[in-house]
Amino acid sequence: MEEDRPLPGPVRLLVGALTLPHELAHYLVFAPWSRSLHIEFGSSRQGGMDLPLARVAGEFSPSIPTAVVRLGAIAPTLLFPLVAIVLDLALGLSGLSAGSLALVAALAFWAAPSHGDVNVFIRAAAVQESGSFDARGRTSGAARPASTLLTVLVTWLVAGVVLL
């Protein structure tokens, strides 16, 4: 069995930069609750742990409502299908073309929830209590399969809006 090899640094940074719209959706929800919020691009491993390509990090006010934590966790998954709908209504998108396929790929990529996003949604109260997105804690067993399922669903939704 071949061992997973991390992406080379420059490739990882480029792919990480492609996730910026996804991270900005999280950031916009959480920004009013934090003065230290930032988006960081991770190296592939740090301290023996795999890091995401990019992530929102920092501390936030303990007064952040659990509902805001949940909304921020799924903000990209809600936002980018809505962007597809708005673009379709404004531009009358339909049909198969290189441009429409690229749009589907971009919007679905930005909308796809990571298992970290789903974990924050599921464990919103624990994240709220920790006061930081940097806190390491128990990962919900449902996060990874839910992330996979939501990614498939959001991709079909975006494709349906843009292509049909």
Q: What is the pLDDT of residue 50?
A: 55
22-52 pLDDT, tens per residue? 999 999 999 999 989 998 876 554 444 456 7
Residue 48: the pLDDT is: 44
- Quick: pLDDT tens for 116-151: 899 999 989 888 888 887 655 677 888 889 999 999
Q: Rounded to an integer, what distance in angstroms lies between the CA atom of residue 105 and that of residue 18? A: 12
Task: Give the pLDDT score at 105.
Answer: 92
Q: Mean pLDDT: which of 4-13, 39-48, 68-77 is highest? A: 68-77
Mean pLDDT of the chain: 84
- Number of Cβ atoms within 10 Å of the Cβ of 93: 19
Distances (CA, A) of 13 to 3, 51, 53, 132: 21, 12, 7, 24
Contact between 41 and 16 under an 8 Å Cβ cutoff? The reply is yes
Closest CA to 118 of 139, 97, 93, 135: 139
Map residue 134 onto helix, strand or coil. Answer: coil
Instruction: Decide: 118 and 147 in contact? Cβ < 8 Å.
Output: yes
